[in-house]
Amino acid sequence: MLLPSLSLVALLTGLAYATPTPAPSMYVHAQRTRPARGFVALSTASSDHLLDMRIHLAQRDPAGLRAVLDAVSDPSHPQYGQYLSRAQVESFTRPTDETRNAVNNWLATHGLNATDASSAGDWIAVQVPASVANTMLGAEYTLFAHERSNSTLVRTLSYSLPLSLQGHVKTVWPGTSCQSSNPAPQPTSAPAPQIPAPTPGKTDASCKNTVTPKCLQQLYQIPTTRAKVASNKIGVTAYINQFGQKSDLRSFLQQFRPDIDDSNTGFNTQSIDGGVNPQGSGSAGVEANLDLQYTIGLATGVPTTFITVGNQGRNGFLDTITQLLASDSPPQVLTTSYGQSEDDVAPQDAEAMCNAYMQLGARGVSILFASGDSGVGDSNDECKRDGKFQPTFPAGCPFLTAVGSTDGIAPERGASFSSGGFSELFAQPSYQSAHIATFLSRSSVPASSGRFNPSGRAFPDVSTLGTRFAVINAGRTTGVQGTSASSPVFASIIALLNDERAQRGMPPLGFLNPWLYGKASGAFMDVVEGNNPGCGTDGFEAAKGWDPVTGLGTPSYPALRVAAGLA
């Protein structure tokens, strides 16, 4: 659909900015003064428009679960690697009867009956007409359009809850978040054992122009032998109609991994929210093909699941994680190459999703996200309205590993597009505080500049090469760049380490960051050149040690092997 003219937009957005006043017995639970960047208000939502509402109930003991995650993820802790089962995690996240009764009674007064939307029952689902939602939430649900994509969604700038629900409800979705998930790839023209000093492997001369699995195997010394443990799996997520093509994968393996049997190498498909994966050149998606070709092409023999998420207007990230939490055997590694500006996500929604990643981490799952492709800005190279750099989400969540990008070989440089910085929503976790303090003491952008939150969760955590990747898409070889190329690379390395550990009866690496910033911090090749410009600035500069362009640096598989107890 076409967007309204600017004059009409001005009239309509004035309507959307009028925030309802909560009744005396209610309190404002979430509010924003303006629509998220890139969105304009079109009209008040039709009274009979059905909202697929999700309500996140307060969990029984999230602090206790966080303590368990810290213990099982810390290599120096006696409980390291002693991950929880699904039932054990749910004993922390299941709401109390008091909370469930309070929320269900409130819904009943509006003629509504909810069903569980998560295995633990901490998320419930109910279909609500917009007119009813406006009444029960003191809201004004409005139809918004995204200026660049023309996609529309129904959201509100404010909603309220009864005072009786304080402490019982964490967030309501859809509410004030305006997610516009964007894929990152950009098509281009083409006393443990001593960790050995990480050094890059020698690469073919052609790798300077075109990156293939062989180049990455050479550079990071990734083994080419086939994995052996069938229960060790990797998951690759796909959103916004990105479909992975089996014929393109077969051609890719024949051309770039002729040493493995392509007829016995493929992927399983898991559908969420009605996701599909049609085949044929007309359905080819460069993002999906990139992610699949480089996980399967690098994590040789590791069983791969392609998780395709439909576009039913729901929160794809949330639905993905709740589905995986309901599984007794989720993949041990999950890589995602999508994200958005942190400012577009309501703090309550961001916290709920981030805590869901914490739950998977407690079960021994390594979650990796591409850090983003906009340097210190966002996809429109716009700063936040207060002039601060714009962090990305979910990369700024402290319970996952964010992967940035480098460019070039010998030496690698921080890629100019590699998103990195400091979260405005999440506090800096202790596992990285010493590294961040060192960076801040010599940063070219001082903490006093006001452009970023020096106390926030810092990202990315690590990086890999992310430019000039050869991908076969719709039968043709094309070049791709972006942090979405880097996340599958590092995910593949972790999957191979997990395979080696499983062969020795050891648990998977699980939530990686305490290990990465601690025992494994010396297993990365430091990247000291490059910067990530945005917002009309040069952004941050790569520096010795951790930096917001490349994190801890790029991986050395032999050194990581030692850090993982495989020497």
Place of tokens 């690098």: 298
Q: Is 169 annotated as ligand-binding?
A: no
483, 291 in Cβ contact below 8 A? Answer: no
Task: Catalytic residue, from 70, 90, 248, 291: name it.
Answer: 291
Give alpha helix (H) positions in 27-139.
Answer: 62-73, 86-93, 97-108, 130-137
* HSE-up (13 A, CA, CB side) for residue 243: 17
Residue pair 266/249 in contact by the 8 Å Cβ criterion: yes
Q: Calculate the alpha carbon distances from 550 to 62, 464, 531, 533, 560 in Å.
A: 31, 8, 9, 13, 17
> 28 a known binding residue?
no
3-state secondary structure 487-556: HHHHHHHHHHHHHHHHHCCCCCCCCCHHHHHCCCHHHEECCCCEECCECCECCCECCCCCECCCECCEEC
Cβ proximity of 376 and 418 under 8 Å: no
Residues 488, 213: contact at Cβ < 8 Å?
no
291 is catalytic: yes
Catalytic annotation, pick one of 287, 343, 351, 461? 287
At a CB cut-off of 8 Å and minimum separation 6, what does 54 contact? 117, 123, 124, 125, 172, 173, 314, 315, 318
The answer to whether 7 is a known catalytic residue is no
Distance, C-alpha 131 to centroid of its chain: 33
Is there a catalytic annotation at residue 287?
yes
Residues in a beta bridge with 234: 304, 333
Phi first, then psi, for residue 8 (nearest 5°) are -70, -40
Which position among 374, 423, 484, 556 bears the catalytic label? 484
Distances (CA, A) of 479 to 211, 424, 476, 482, 489: 9, 34, 10, 11, 16
Phi, psi of 266 (to 5 degrees): -160, -150
In angstroms, rounded to a whole number, what is the distance separating the alpha carbons of residues 465 and 179?
28
> What is the token pair recorded at 71?
């213990």
Chain position carrying tokens 């499983």: 502
Strand partners, 26: 162
SS3 13: helix
Confirm whether residue 376 is marked as ligand binding.
Answer: no
Residue type, 500: E
Residue 526 marked as a ligand binder: yes
Rg of the chain (C-alpha set): 23
Q: Check if the beta carbon of residue 144 is closer than 8 Å to that of residue 203.
A: no
For the annotated binding site, the residues are: 526-527, 545, 547
Q: Which sequence positions are flagged as catalytic?
A: 287, 291, 484
For the annotated binding site for Ca(2+), the residues are: 526-527, 545, 547
